Amino acid sequence: MSLNPAQREAVAYCDGPLLVLAGAGSGKTRVITEKIAHLLRIGHAASAVAAITFTNKAAKEMRERVGKLISRDASEALQVSTFHALGLRVMQQEAQHVGLRRGFSILDAEDAFALVKDLAPAGLKPDALDLLRGLIGKAKDNGLDPEEALAAARSPKELQAAELYAAYTRRLRNFNALDFDDLIFLPERLFSTNEEVRTRWQQKLSYLLVDEYQDTNRAQYRLLKHLVGTRGRFTAVGDDDQSIYAWRGANPENLNELARDYPQLKLVKLEQNYRCSGRILRAANAVIANNDHLFEKKLWSAHGEGEPLRVLQCKDETHEAERVAAEIAHLQQTRKTPWSDFAILYRGNFQSRAFEQALRLLRVPYHVSGGTAFFDRAEVRDLLAYLRVLVNPEDDSAFLRIVQTPKRDIGTGTLEKLAQLAGSRGLSMARAADSLEVQKQIAARPAAALANFAEQIKRWRISATSLDAGTLCEKLIQESGYAQHLESTVKDPAARARRFENLKELVDFLKANGKGRDALGDLAAQLALLGNLDRDDNGNAVRLSTLHAAKGLEFRHVWLVGLEDGTLPHEGAINEGRLDEERRLFYVAITRAKETLTLSHAAHKQRFGELLAQKPSRFLDELPAADVVREGDDPERDRAEKRERGQAHLARLAAMLGGPE
């Protein structure tokens, strides 16, 4: 399929800053990939072109699609990554400028929270700790170091967070470690204060492309500006109507900032939608028209009118789940379409339970998005902690994870004593465990266990100089006693087999990616960036997903459920007057559907042991009446549909009773 005129214009313009306003389903990924190929054809070196997106999954997809348009060598040289992966690359090359040593660690969210808890006053509840951790992250987003955050504090809580920020930063530097926020904050800070480094990186990149630009935060935008400089050779692709991540710092106002910072900014609108039917698009346009807009656009489709949207009122949550499950089973049977063509979308994860139960009863295969990501699984995190300690002996959080996994006659009391002694001598816990002076001040048995473990770490570190990362990981699994640990602690054979399979997959991944000089250290850092949704394979199953997790996906048939005031829009958003983002979330949900869209709400819901009446979502009133069929509008049609669904339901139950399908 050839590019449409607006797409061709976006691909061809390379002389200055460009904003591509890309509506849902308008082919933005194709525009980015075609533009990368075009840049190489007109003389840009592949290694000097960088494409930035927000998830590893999206980066992988983009690289694969570009790879079909350019040579293998060019594809390998091309820089396609997330913002955080780009920040990691900068830090790996410029570590000395920010007081880091080679082989630094990256603390994941769990480790960072544990560090905040350790430094904060005793007795604080998790919510209070989360708030403090969030305020530290906000300070970094605003480009403030600890001293500047302290000066800017305006409330007791901000003052407490700023003081904790200073202690937190000192501890990170002692660990030779960063947190996720540092991967944007430190490169941006370095570029703003060091002209030589900034110029060198500007010369490295001749052109920058940024996907999902509306999801950038303030720090990411400042980093972008430093990288492109005054020449402004970049393409930003985004859509203010799909900005749904304000809760994690996304700032759609960055779209306006582009126009102010780059007066020569060219704007191209992609308004042809290649996904949805005409009725679905009209509904989406009608809803989002109620928001104020940075840029006006109106999506259109050449796919024809399609079927009307349906609005179902159900008695309660159970009735809603049963109806949706029965309709999916019926539609799949009549249209002979794969299960993966169907999706049930909801506002929060808590809503999935009733739908899971109803689908199981009908033997409908389903997949819930957002399960534990591969690199978040306990056994994978354990082995990665071993690798982190080998790369960075200062990584206390990783050391604490492995020193008792498996058990080594080293108790909590011993570790507290070790931490004390290490702190008084300015040593990491791993280095303190290897100190004869420290060992003498610990009881004989645990001291011997610590000494043995420290010796083992040294032997593994020597092995790491000659083995690839995958082979080293295999060695660690066996020699650390981890395999025996799983055998003895995981009693369920199926669960144990899954854990060993996860370790095998980790080994295979490391063997494929952990080659070359400094590979182990680089891998340990890169793996810390792999997050949720990066390995979310649906297979042939109905997708159950939150609205946030469904962004970027599409399905032939979508059920948007739980549409009550207080759920969507969320009660907090109603009370605080934040309806715009909730409406954008509703818009994103509508535009996931290609052919049919069914919207449902419950008249009553169980809340705190009471059956409470519910008001339909106010957003349902914003749908165009001509494109919507509501239950009750045509009683005869409703009765006929009910009979058809009932007969199909009975037929499916009869078939199931006759044996598995």
Q: Hey, which residues are catalytic here?
A: 28-29, 211-212, 242, 592
Report the distance separating Cα 211 and Cα 626, nearest Å.
35
Three-class HEC string of 19-68: EEEECCCCCHHHHHHHHHHHHHHCCCCHHHEEEEECCHHHHHHHHHHHHC
Cα atoms in the 13 Å half-sphere on the side-chain side of 477: 21
CA-nearest of 3, 659, 653, 2 to 329 is: 653
Q: Can you give the length of the chain in residues?
A: 661
C-alpha dihedral sign at 391, 394, 395, 400? positive
Task: Count the neighbouring beta carbons within 10 Å of the beta carbon of residue 632.
Answer: 9
Kindly report whether the peptide bond that precedes residue 493 is cis, defined as omega within 30 degrees of 0: no
Report the distance separating Cα 240 and Cα 294, nearest Å.
7
Q: What angle do CA 11, 13, 19 make, to 5 degrees?
A: 85
CA distances from 405 to 131, 175, 434, 453 (A): 31, 21, 18, 11
User: Residues 210-229, buried b or exposed e (16+ Cβ, 10 A)?
Assistant: bbbbbbbbbbbbbbbbbbbb
In the three-class reduction of DSSP (H, G, I as helix; E, B as strand; rest coil), residue 368 is classed as strand
Tokens of 390: 């080998």
Report the distance separating Cα 225 and Cα 232, nearest Å.
8
Residue with tokens 């058990």: 407
Report the distance separating Cα 252 and Cα 214, nearest Å.
5
